[in-house]
Amino acid sequence: MDYLLTHRTHPTAEEVFEALVPDIPTLSKTTVYNTLNLFVSQGAAAHIAIDPRGSRFDGDTSVHGHFFCTKCGALHDVFFASPPVLPLPEGGHAAECAQIYYKGICASCAGKREK
């Protein structure tokens, strides 16, 4: 959890594993996946499925959206002045969460493209 809270890059489980295994040589990928899924099930982290290359995780569970750069793969937080009000699904469905995603070219990549 400390890694998620101090690395605001929305890491994949693989990135968490690679970062932690030098200090915890007995760590397994299964443990990382299970722990991240436990954090998500307990509301301590968010699972973000915007990246086509794999799941990402976010230790910030405040109301916010995400912007995914389709060029470099960076995932940025998007904070709102006031939380958006999304309509509830019709048909008696009980939504447990809603996520707002944007996809496009980030400012850094757009700047590189203009030069």
Q: What is the pLDDT of residue 102?
A: 94
Judge whether residue 14 has pLDDT over 90.
yes
What CATH number did the domain enclosing 104 receive?
1.10.10.10
Please count the CA atoms within 13 angstroms of the CA of 114 that sit on its side-chain side. 7
Q: Which domain holds residue 73?
A: 2-114
- How far apart are alpha carbons 59 and 1 in whole angstroms? 7
Give the number of domains in the chain. Answer: 1
User: Strand ranges (DSSP E) for 3-83?
Assistant: 46-48, 56-58, 65-69, 75-78
pLDDT band at 92 (very low <50, low <70, confident <90, very high): confident
Q: What is the pLDDT of residue 3?
A: 95
**CA gyration radius for the chain?**
16
The 10s digit of each residue's pLDDT in 22-58 is 999 999 999 999 999 999 999 999 999 998 888 999 9
The 10s digit of each residue's pLDDT in 62-88 is 989 999 999 999 999 999 998 888 888
Q: What is the pLDDT of residue 113?
A: 61
Q: What is the pLDDT of residue 87?
A: 86
